[in-house]
């Protein structure tokens, strides 16, 4: 594209501009709600106003008579979804249990559960008619408060079935050994429910192109997972379900599950025979698309007087719904980050009358790290040691969880880079010892880690006659710049200019790829792009061998082959050239294509693979008003090879801002009397604004991990936020001497 | 939202007629609050009277007053030379409100008529006496973190959300209104109401009355002023507590003072007793602490807003310190 500023080679690591940047800033990028289909109509969901019980009566007559209304669908007249009746598990949810069966029966399982959809010719008419649906309920007593139900926490079904599940109780050394420690602490931590609140509201257009053929333009992080789910729901072949998610305007995890509004739109499209668009309201984003669950944690920790950890016990109870068992790896960091010979972890979930949570950036780990890294800081103070020194002293060179070597670990390098950049030496151990005018100054740090996951993916690489390379894979891009990274990987592998390469994603008809989640897309799809490009190069080499200059190509090493304007050449021999036209003629095709599948190897059995981040922050706290201002953030990451310094920095920045929100401003509150959220818009639920984001610097170790994939990547998205909230909480302690263990750290907690 | 009629009169009289004729008519100017409320079904006017064509957006001198038209935009007023010179406290308060985009739409009259941001008012599935008289107050025993510590009733404990109004009440402004019975002037301090038994009534405007302007008298509060807004993020959030402080200091002695708080009552909360306690005293932290103590007399908190009993006096002290440039 023209806007790519002067001569970008697209080499791996280069801070190349986003390939779709222009489309996004000019509004040309099409998001799910923006497709214009002939005959499109609008659906508006009606939510329950009770939390638990049954619908006694639902009067839709007035709504049906309202202008422009095509249908009002409830459990009484909904087309039956075949999968709902046939299976316990119609859609194989990403977590155990039974996803909500939309309009299936008269049961109400959480407040604002969709109980009807009104379809009309315009959005405003649908919205107005939705206000006319009158419902009466038989109400049951509900539970929406986790802390009042901690005693009902239970072991998730996966852990019951399999004692080796990461969700099962874990023991290294002695049970709860901290109780006998020389210096010990015991503390409870609470994080409130946090909402993903991406800028783009969840949206879908559902279109039955034939009675057994469904196309959805759907905001999702998993086009293939969504395809499978809806095929099972409706009892049709997967190939008959087409899922398009070319652009996703942020998701942070809430596109990793299929939600009631999607099924409601599909039902409405079935009923009306028209394409139906449903866009959630901001308030519905709090109840219909998941959230980071309210979680209670307790840590017991002990250390020797000279700062060696002797034991950690970490327990957590997170909330889930009454119908699905949502789980996340809250306690993993505690098992593997520090040398402690004795570690006990106990993970529980408690069912409440709420909608189902879903993974939110740094899922589990961000929650667990708040408790762990706060406790580490507290323990460092208890033994009167600099918290950085304390972490170095308890650093581990092998994985204490399983005894395996790390694939790579450059955490100490991160410590050093960050400490220098933040000016850690200016920190005083004594809280409240540094001031800037009226404000108290504090320094804090926190460590984050996340598994360097890799899955299987398939990529199609097609070199066209015009010299353009088109790559396809059914992954998505929720904002990290996936397409840009893939173009750079291809450009580097093939020696091609990036503007000749297009990476297409977000379409279930493309070759298989997993969801975009768990910081694994570059690890997985990036590796597959690299493999596809290598396969393409080999194929081209074979074809070139048969051209007039063939001998040179035949003998060449594959990496010697350069794909340039209109022809193949050799880096080592400028005279060796083969025109595409000739190659394609050889191939009797208009193009040369390869489709390759890539999978992780068995290094996974031999090594423990993690990305690491260290966040250093400086905060100012006002002693009279309790306001906290984050003044500086330095995050350093060991994320393996960095494909694009700019987009990698963007990810770190987004995670840092998310971490500020987690630490200082975000928390969704339910009024338990009603079971209903009372902070459910962007005025009451405070995501950070620009003025909350300080100067931020990000640094990467940028050393390859040879065991995750051949690119050497480990993943960035999650570690950008994991450990940030405790870094801020620890800085607040350093400024004020107040240890806040319940997020968010709002002014009332500090005065 | 419901279907509604829409009229856009070009004459003030026509606007007043349109309002007076129809009890269910609402004025729309910037629409930054009303449209939200209509989308959520909290307000459902049958008729919108768009007053943007009325010539009410001037900022001008009128004798020893600055007169600001009701349709002057918040963003324009905050940048106006006259306002910055004569009433810098007002400019500070305006800039503390909302976001640049909203300030560019919101009008002075509309700002005064903002509805509360109480969660229970905003959700039609929950009880609220202000939205639906007789349905109960959801906040009284609910999530009342943002709620009043002064002047509430057992019917309503909501707070007024405006920043601008806190400065205007401190600056002894007067609201100019025009209605079916003619024109009248309402002292700003009497413009908003306490909830009492009729929390559905936010102001003392009579049916059919239109705000035309606000008058601010000249006063020697041009140098030692400060609007402090304490909130949960650095911008674009409603105040936990805000303080408008204006001092006239000569030879380190306070000759006159104006003080008001936001986020603590159903109306912008003028602190006249605290003002009196400041006069004649040296501009010191000790003086400010004593004034804060006077200001807090009679305050009472609920389950989740106990912190305001400490945050409010602390904020008064800090606002006065900043106004007086006392370190």
| Shortest CA gap A303–chain B (Å) | 36
Give residue A4's pLDDT. Answer: 47
Closest B-chain CA to A122:
B1
Tokens of B252: 């380190």
Tokens of A188: 């409870």
Give residue A5's pLDDT. Answer: 53
B6 to chain A, any CB pair closer than 8 A? The answer is no
Q: What gap in Å lies between CA A105 and CA B248, rounded to an integer?
A: 69
A541 with A556: CB under 8 angstroms?
A: yes
Q: What gap in Å lies between CA B206 and CA A209, rounded to an integer?
A: 58
Tokens of A466: 């015009």
Residue B195 inside a domain? The answer is no
CATH number at residue B251: 3.30.390.50
Question: What would the pLDDT profile of A480-516 be if each residue is shown by its tens digit?
Answer: 999 999 999 999 998 889 999 999 999 999 999 999 9
Nearest neighbour of B126 by CB, restricted to A622, A627, A676: A676
| Shortest CA gap A446–chain B (Å) | 22
Contact (CB<8Å) A748/B311: yes
A471 with A486: CB under 8 angstroms?
A: yes
B52 with B71: CB under 8 angstroms?
A: yes
Window 166-185 of B: residues touching A by CB (8 A cutoff) are: none
Q: What gap in Å lies between CA A446 and CA A723, rounded to an integer?
A: 5
Helices (H), chain B: 12-21, 34-39, 74-79, 81-86, 88-96, 100-103, 108-112, 119-122, 164-170, 272-278, 285-295, 308-324
B303 to chain A, any CB pair closer than 8 A? The answer is no
Torsion of CA A487, A488, A490, A491, to 10 degrees: 110
Half-sphere exposure of A378 (CA within 13 A, CB side): 23
From residue B288, how far is each of A281, B273, B322 by CA, in Å? 46, 13, 11
B317 to chain A, any CB pair closer than 8 A? The answer is yes
Which residues, at least 6 apart from A493, have a Cβ–Cβ distance to it below 8 Å?
A529, A530, A533, A534, A537
Report the phi/psi class of residue B252: left, alpha or beta, with left for phi > 0 and alpha for psi in -120 to 50. left
Half-sphere exposure of A268 (CA within 13 A, CB side): 35
Question: Quick check: A471 pLDDT over 70?
Answer: yes
Q: What gap in Å lies between CA A644 and CA A15, rounded to an integer?
A: 5
Question: Quick check: A3 pLDDT over 50?
Answer: no
Contact (CB<8Å) B1/A283: no
A396 with A404: CB under 8 angstroms?
A: no
End-to-end CA distance of chain B: 52
Which residues in chain B have Cβ-Cβ distances shorter than 8 Å to A679? 119, 143
A92 with A229: CB under 8 angstroms?
A: yes
Question: What would the pLDDT profile of A257-312 be if each residue is shown by its tens digit?
Answer: 999 999 999 999 999 999 999 999 999 999 999 999 999 999 999 999 999 999 99
Domain count, chain A: 1
**Once rounded to an integer, what is the mean pLDDT over residues A202-218?**
98
Residue B242 inside a domain? The answer is yes
Q: What gap in Å lies between CA A481 and CA A494, rounded to an integer?
A: 20
Contact (CB<8Å) B120/A678: yes
- List the A434-436 sheet strands across, edge first: A434-436, A439-451, A610-621, A628-638, A695-700
Q: Residue holding tokens 């093939």?
A: A494
Nearest neighbour of A746 by CB, restricted to B39, B125, B232: B232
Give residue A9's pLDDT. Answer: 83
Q: What gap in Å lies between CA B271 and CA B320, rounded to an integer?
A: 13
Determine the residue among A625, A686, A687, A695 to mutate to test chain B binding: the one whose Cβ has the most chain B Cβ atoms within 10 Å: A625
Question: What would the pLDDT profile of A688-700 be if each residue is shown by its tens digit?
Answer: 999 999 999 999 9
Contact (CB<8Å) B233/A669: no
Question: Quick check: A93 pLDDT over 60?
Answer: no
Write down the ipTM of this complex.
0.97
**Once rounded to an integer, what is the mean pLDDT over residues B143-147?**
98
| Shortest CA gap B233–chain A (Å) | 6
**Residue B141 three-state SS:** coil
**Once rounded to an integer, what is the mean pLDDT over residues B252-281?**
98
Torsion of CA A732, A733, A734, A736, to 10 degrees: 80
Question: What would the pLDDT profile of A717-751 be if each residue is shown by its tens digit?
Answer: 999 999 999 999 999 999 999 999 999 999 999 99
Question: Quick check: A575 pLDDT over 90?
Answer: no
**Once rounded to an integer, what is the mean pLDDT over residues A656-666?**
98
Domain that holds residue B311: 224-324
Question: Quick check: A219 pLDDT over 70?
Answer: yes
Give residue B258's pLDDT. Answer: 98
Computed over its alpha carbons, how large is the radius of gyration of chain A?
A: 27
Residue B168 inside a domain? The answer is no
**Once rounded to an integer, what is the mean pLDDT over residues B171-193?**
98
Question: Quick check: A142 pLDDT over 90?
Answer: yes
End-to-end CA distance of chain A: 54
Count of pairs with CB atoms under 8 A, one residue in A, one in B: 95
Percent of chain A with pLDDT over 90: 87
Nearest neighbour of A671 by CB, restricted to B99, B142, B232: B142
Mean pLDDT of chain A: 94
Give residue A90's pLDDT. Answer: 45
Which residues, at least 6 apart from A721, have a Cβ–Cβ distance to it below 8 Å?
A361, A362, A366, A448, A655, A656, A658, A659, A662
Give residue A89's pLDDT. Answer: 52
Percent of chain A with pLDDT over 70: 97
The H-or-E segment that residue A554 falls in is helix A550-555
Residue A333 inside a domain? The answer is no
A528 with A458: CB under 8 angstroms?
A: yes
B313 with B295: CB under 8 angstroms?
A: yes
Contact (CB<8Å) B311/A751: yes
Cβ atoms within 10 A of the Cβ of A579, count?
15
Contacts of B297-300 spanning 24+ positions with Cβ under 8 A: B297/B273, B298/B150, B299/B149, B299/B150, B299/B264, B300/B149
A438 to chain B, any CB pair closer than 8 A? The answer is yes
Tokens of A37: 């289909």
Question: Quick check: B293 pLDDT over 60?
Answer: yes
| Shortest CA gap A35–chain B (Å) | 24
Domain count, chain B: 2
Closest A-chain CA to B44:
A128
Determine the residue among B233, B241, B312 to mutate to test chain A binding: the one whose Cβ has the most chain A Cβ atoms within 10 Å: B233
Which residues in chain B have Cβ-Cβ distances shorter than 8 Å to A751? 307, 310-311, 314
Q: Which residues of A participate in catalysis according to the annotation?
A: 718
Give residue A138's pLDDT. Answer: 98
Closest A-chain CA to B124:
A49
Give residue B238's pLDDT. Answer: 97
A665 to chain B, any CB pair closer than 8 A? The answer is yes
Q: What gap in Å lies between CA B26 and CA B1, rounded to an integer?
A: 14
Q: What gap in Å lies between CA A489 and CA A526, rounded to an integer?
A: 7
A448 with A561: CB under 8 angstroms?
A: no
Give the residue from A751, A679, A695 showing the smallest Cα distance to B238: A679
Question: Quick check: B296 pLDDT over 60?
Answer: yes
Residue A706 inside a domain? The answer is no
Question: Quick check: A637 pLDDT over 80?
Answer: yes
CATH number at residue B22: 3.30.43.10
Residue A36 inside a domain? The answer is no
Strands (E), A413-553: 434-436, 439-451, 457-464, 469-472, 501-504
A615 with A445: CB under 8 angstroms?
A: yes
The H-or-E segment that residue A564 falls in is strand A561-564
List, as one string, the DSSP characters of B2-68: ---EEE--SSHHHHHHHHHH-TTEEEESS-TTHHHHHHTTS---SEEEE-TTSS---EEEETTEEEE
Residue B206 inside a domain? The answer is no
Contact (CB<8Å) B142/A673: yes
Q: DSSP character for A405?
A: B
Which residues in chain B have Cβ-Cβ distances shorter than 8 Å to A681? 122
Give residue A578's pLDDT. Answer: 81
| Shortest CA gap A678–chain B (Å) | 5
Length of chain B: 327
Q: What gap in Å lies between CA A309 and CA A420, rounded to an integer?
A: 26
Which residues in chain B have Cβ-Cβ distances shorter than 8 Å to A287? none
CATH number at residue A484: 3.30.365.10
Contact (CB<8Å) A689/B235: yes
Closest A-chain CA to B142:
A671
Computed over its alpha carbons, how large is the radius of gyration of chain B?
A: 19
Q: What gap in Å lies between CA B69 and CA A437, rounded to an integer?
A: 40
Tokens of A132: 């006319």
Which residues in chain B have Cβ-Cβ distances shorter than 8 Å to A689? 99, 233-236
Which residues in chain B have Cβ-Cβ distances shorter than 8 Å to A282? none
Which residues, at least 6 apart from A163, have a Cβ–Cβ distance to it below 8 Å?
none
Domain that holds residue A578: 21-30+455-599
Cβ atoms within 10 A of the Cβ of B94, count?
27
Contact (CB<8Å) A49/B125: yes
Question: What would the pLDDT profile of A50-72 be if each residue is shown by its tens digit?
Answer: 999 999 999 999 999 999 999 99
Window 671-690 of A: residues touching B by CB (8 A cutoff) are: 671, 673-674, 676, 678-681, 683-684, 686, 688-690
Residue B309 inside a domain? The answer is yes
A513 with A525: CB under 8 angstroms?
A: yes
Give residue A6's pLDDT. Answer: 57
Give residue A88's pLDDT. Answer: 57
Closest A-chain CA to B314:
A624
């Amino acid at each position: 594209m023209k806007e790519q500023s002067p001569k970008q080679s697209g080499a791996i690591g280069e801070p190349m501009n986003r390939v779709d940047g222009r489309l996004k800033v000019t509004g040309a990028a099409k998001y799910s709600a923006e497709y214009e289909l002939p005959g499109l109509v609008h659906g508006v969901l009606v939510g329950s106003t009770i939390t638990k019980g049954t619908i006694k009566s639902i009067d839709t007559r007035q709504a049906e008579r309202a202008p422009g209304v095509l249908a009002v669908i409830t459990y009484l007249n909904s087309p039956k979804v075949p999968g709902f009746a046939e299976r316990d598990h119609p859609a194989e949810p990403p977590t155990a249990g039974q996803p909500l069966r939309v309009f299936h029966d008269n049961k109400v399982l959480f407040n604002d559960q969709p109980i009807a959809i009104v379809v009309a010719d315009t959005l405003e008419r649908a919205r107005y008619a939705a206000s006319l649906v009158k419902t009466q309920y038989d109400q049951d007593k509900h539970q929406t408060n986790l802390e009042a139900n901690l005693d009902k926490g239970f072991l998730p079904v996966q852990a019951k079935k399999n004692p080796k599940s990461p969700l099962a109780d874990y023991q290294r050394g002695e049970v709860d050994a901290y109780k006998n420690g020389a210096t010990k602490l015991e503390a409870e931590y609470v994080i409130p429910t946090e909402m993903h609140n991406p800028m783009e509201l969840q949206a879908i257009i559902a279109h039955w192109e034939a009675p057994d053929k469904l196309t959805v333009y759907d905001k999702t992080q998993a086009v293939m997972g969504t395809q499978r789910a809806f095929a099972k729901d409706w009892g049709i072949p997967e190939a008959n379900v087409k899922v398009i998610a070319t652009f996703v305007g942020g998701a942070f995890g809430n596109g990793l599950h299929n939600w009631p509004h999607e099924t409601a739109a599909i039902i409405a499209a079935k009923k009306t025979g028209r394409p139906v668009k449903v866009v959630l309201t901001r308030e519905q984003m709090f109840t219909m698309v998941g959230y980071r669950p309210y979680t209670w944690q307790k840590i017991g920790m002990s250390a020797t007087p000279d700062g060696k950890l002797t034991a950690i016990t970490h327990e957590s109870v997170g909330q889930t719904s009454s119908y699905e068992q949502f789980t996340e790896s809250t306690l993993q960091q505690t098992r593997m980050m520090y040398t402690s010979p004795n570690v006990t972890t106990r993970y529980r979930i408690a069912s409440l009358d709420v909608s189902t949570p879903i993974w939110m950036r740094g899922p589990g780990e961000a929650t667990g790290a708040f408790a762990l890294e706060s406790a580490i800081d507290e323990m460092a103070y208890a033994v009167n040691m600099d918290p950085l020194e304390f972490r170095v002293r308890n650093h581990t060179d092998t994985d204490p969880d399983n005894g395996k070597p790390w694939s790579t670990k450059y955490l100490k390098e991160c410590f050093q880079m960050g400490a220098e950049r933040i000016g850690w030496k200016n920190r005083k151990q004594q809280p409240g010892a540094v001031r800037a005018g009226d404000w108290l100054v504090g320094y804090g740090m926190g460590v984050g880690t996340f598994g360097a996951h890799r899955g299987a993916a398939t990529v199609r690489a097609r070199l066209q006659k015009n010299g353009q390379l088109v790559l396809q894979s059914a992954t998505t891009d929720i904002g990290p710049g996936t397409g840009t990274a893939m173009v750079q990987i291809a450009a580097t592998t093939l020696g091609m200019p990036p503007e000749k390469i297009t990476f297409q994603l977000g379409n279930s008809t493309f070759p298989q790829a997993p969801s975009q989640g768990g910081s694994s897309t570059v690890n997985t799809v990036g590796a597959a792009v690299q493999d596809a490009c290598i396969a393409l190069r080999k194929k081209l080499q074979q074809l070139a061998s048969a051209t007039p200059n063939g001998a040179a190509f035949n003998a060449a090493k594959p990496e010697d082959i350069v794909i340039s304007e209109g022809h193949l050449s050799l880096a080592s021999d400028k005279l060796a050239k083969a025109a595409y036209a000739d190659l394609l003629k050889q191939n009797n095709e208009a193009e040369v294509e390869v489709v390759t599948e890539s999978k992780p190897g068995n290094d996974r059995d031999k090594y423990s693979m993690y990305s690491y981040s260290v966040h250093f922050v400086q905060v100012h706290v006002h002693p009279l008003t309790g306001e906290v201002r984050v003044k500086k953030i330095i995050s350093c990451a060991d994320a393996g090879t960095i494909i694009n310094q700019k987009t990698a920095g963007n990810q770190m920045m987004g995670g840092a801002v998310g971490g500020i929100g987690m630490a200082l401003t975000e928390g969704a509150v339910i009024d338990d009397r009603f079971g209903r959220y009372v902070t459910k818009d962007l005025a009451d639920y405070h995501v950070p604004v620009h003025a909350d984001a300080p100067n931020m610097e990000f640094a990467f170790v940028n050393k390859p991990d040879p065991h995750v994939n051949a690119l050497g990547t480990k993943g960035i998205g999650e570690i950008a936020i994991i450990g940030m909230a405790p870094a801020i909480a620890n800085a607040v302690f350093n400024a004020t001497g107040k240890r806040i263990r319940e997020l968010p750290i709002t002014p009332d907690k500090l005065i | 939202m419901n279907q509604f009629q829409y009229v856009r009169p070009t004459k003030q009289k026509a606007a007043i007629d349109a309002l007076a004729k129809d009890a269910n008519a609402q004025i729309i100017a910037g629409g930054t609050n009303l449209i939200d409320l209509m989308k959520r079904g909290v307000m459902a006017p049958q008729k919108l009277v768009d007053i943007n064509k009325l010539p009410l957006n001037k900022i001008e001198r009128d004798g020893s007053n600055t007169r600001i038209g009701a349709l002057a935009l918040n963003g324009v007023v905050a940048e106006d030379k006259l306002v910055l010179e004569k009433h810098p406290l007002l400019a500070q308060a305006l800039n503390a409100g909302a976001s640049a985009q909203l300030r560019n739409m919101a009008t002075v009259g509309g700002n005064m008529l903002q509805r509360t941001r109480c969660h229970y008012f905003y959700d039609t599935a929950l009880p609220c006496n202000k939205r639906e008289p007789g349905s109960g107050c959801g906040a009284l025993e609910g999530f009342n973190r943002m709620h009043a510590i002064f002047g509430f009733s057992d019917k309503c404990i909501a707070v007024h959300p405006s920043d601008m109004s806190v400065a205007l009440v401190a600056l002894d402004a007067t609201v100019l209104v025009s209605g079916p019975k003619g024109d009248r002037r309402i002292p700003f301090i009497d413009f908003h109401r306490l909830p009492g038994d009729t929390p559905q009534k936010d102001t003392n405007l009579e049916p059919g009355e239109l705000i035309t302007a606000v008058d601010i008298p000249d006063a020697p509060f041009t140098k030692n002023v400060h609007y402090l807004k304490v909130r949960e993020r650095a911008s674009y959030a409603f105040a936990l507590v805000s303080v408008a402080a204006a001092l006239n200091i000569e030879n380190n002695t306070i000759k006159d003072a104006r003080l008001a708080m936001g986020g603590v009552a159903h109306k912008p909360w003028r602190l006249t007793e605290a003002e009196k306690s400041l006069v004649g005293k040296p501009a010191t932290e000790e003086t400010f602490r004593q004034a804060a103590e006077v200001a807090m007399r009679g305050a009472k908190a609920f389950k989740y807003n106990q912190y305001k009993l400490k945050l409010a006096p602390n904020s008064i002290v800090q606002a006065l310190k900043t106004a007086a440039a006392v370190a």
